[in-house]
């Protein structure tokens, strides 16, 4: 079974078919995009709070941070564990395993197709935000935009690998997605969705930086918003998490497929 053996034709067919599939659900995806407004809710909470000065950001910087957090979240959200669990329970996984293409590539293509479908809705929400908050309008430089895009893509890679690690447990359990729900609380707390990481006490920040969560939202959002950030440390941490998770996913997947095949599935 090939893992990385993708050629241009396979990539084009995968992305084209998944994008066409996602277009059929564009109304639902629009609702998904609207459901990710937690950063805007937190913006309104912090804007009306006397504790806002503790964030170290003025009003405009705070607006830009939470808008950036919303945009990063839109293009780094991952749901592979739920799709994989459903395919395993409904028996769709068996024919996938017989094909000369690693099934995880299907889920990667599905996520990218959904992101393309989300793009106009995310752009529309950002435009409405700028109409309401015109003082927050800014355009990142070309270099800044590239760095933010790279940080967001790497955040997506970390989230995808992390969920794939949990999804591989479906070979042993029918409800591996319950584990994914357990990590949602530390994700929301440490990722920067509730507040920039600078709002937390130094001890909490020190603990958070040893988890993958700040590099999923806080770091790429700060890069996109043009705020001071240590690019070398941030990208280094993202690369380290990808390097750690990728072999774990492949190892657990290999063990799970062997068990799955031994059971005659």
pLDDT in tens, 133-151: 999 899 888 999 999 999 9
The pLDDT value recorded for residue 265 is: 52
Question: Do 70 and 40 form a contact (C-beta atoms < 8 A)?
Answer: yes
- Tokens coding 37: 């407004």
Angle ∠(78,159,75) on CA atoms, nearest 5: 55
What pLDDT is stored for residue 47 in this prediction? Answer: 77
Sequence-distant (≥ 6) Cβ neighbours of residue 152 within 8 angstroms: 71, 72, 75, 76, 220, 224
Question: How far is 60 from 227, CA to CA, in rounded Å?
Answer: 11
Q: Which ranges constitute the DSSP H helices of 48-183?
A: 59-74, 80-90, 93-98, 103-132, 142-167, 177-182
| Other residues' Cβ atoms within 10 Å of the Cβ of residue 192 | 31
Q: What is the pLDDT of residue 212?
A: 95
Three-state DSSP at 176 gives coil
Rounded to an integer, what distance in angstroms lies between the CA atom of residue 108 and that of residue 116? 13
Q: How many CB atoms lie within 10 A of CB 177?
A: 20
Q: Round to whole Å and give the CA distance between 6 and 254.
A: 19
Gap between the Cα atoms of 201 and 211, Å rounded: 16
For residue 46, what pLDDT is reported?
A: 79
pLDDT of residue 3: 43
* Closest-CA residue to 30 (of 133, 123, 148, 110): 123
pLDDT for 1 equals: 41
Nearest of 142, 85, 152 to residue 112 by alpha carbon: 152
Q: From CA 209, how far away is CA 192, in angstroms rounded?
A: 12
- Rounded CA separation 125/114 (Å): 17
pLDDT tens sequence across 51-91: 566 666 677 888 999 999 999 999 999 989 988 888 888 88
For each successive 10 residues of the chain (265 residues), what is the average pLDDT? 57 74 70 78 77 67 92 93 86 81 87 89 92 91 94 96 91 79 87 87 90 95 93 96 95 87 56
Cα separation, 167 vs 178, whole angstroms: 10
For tokens 């440390």, name the residue: 233
């Amino acid at each position: 079974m090939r893992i990385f053996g993708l050629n241009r034709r396979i990539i084009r067919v995968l992305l084209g078919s998944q994008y066409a599939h996602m277009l059929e659900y564009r109304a639902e995806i629009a609702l998904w995009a609207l459901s990710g407004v937690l950063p805007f809710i937190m913006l309104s909470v912090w804007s009306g709070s006397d504790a806002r000065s503790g964030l170290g950001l003025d009003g405009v910087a705070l607006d830009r941070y939470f808008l950036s957090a919303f945009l990063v979240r839109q293009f780094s959200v991952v749901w592979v564990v739920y799709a994989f669990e459903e395919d395993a329970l409904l028996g769709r996984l068996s024919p996938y395993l017989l094909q000369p293409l690693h099934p995880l590539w299907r889920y990667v293509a599905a996520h990218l197709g959904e992101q393309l479908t989300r793009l106009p809705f995310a752009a529309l929400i950002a435009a409405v935000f700028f109409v309401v908050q015109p003082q927050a309008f800014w355009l990142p430089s070309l270099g800044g935009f590239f760095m933010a895009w790279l940080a967001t893509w790497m955040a997506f890679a970390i989230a995808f690998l992390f969920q794939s690690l949990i999804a591989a447990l479906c070979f042993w359990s029918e409800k591996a997605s319950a584990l994914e729900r357990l990590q949602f609380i530390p994700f929301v707390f440490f990722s920067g969705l509730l507040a920039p990481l600078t709002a937390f006490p130094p001890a909490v920040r020190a603990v958070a930086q040893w988890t993958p969560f700040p590099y999923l939202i806080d770091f790429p959002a700060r890069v996109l918003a043009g705020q001071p950030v240590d690019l070398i440390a941030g990208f280094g941490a993202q690369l380290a998490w990808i390097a750690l998770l990728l072999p774990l996913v492949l190892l657990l997947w290999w063990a799970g497929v062997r068990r799955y095949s031994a059971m005659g599935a």
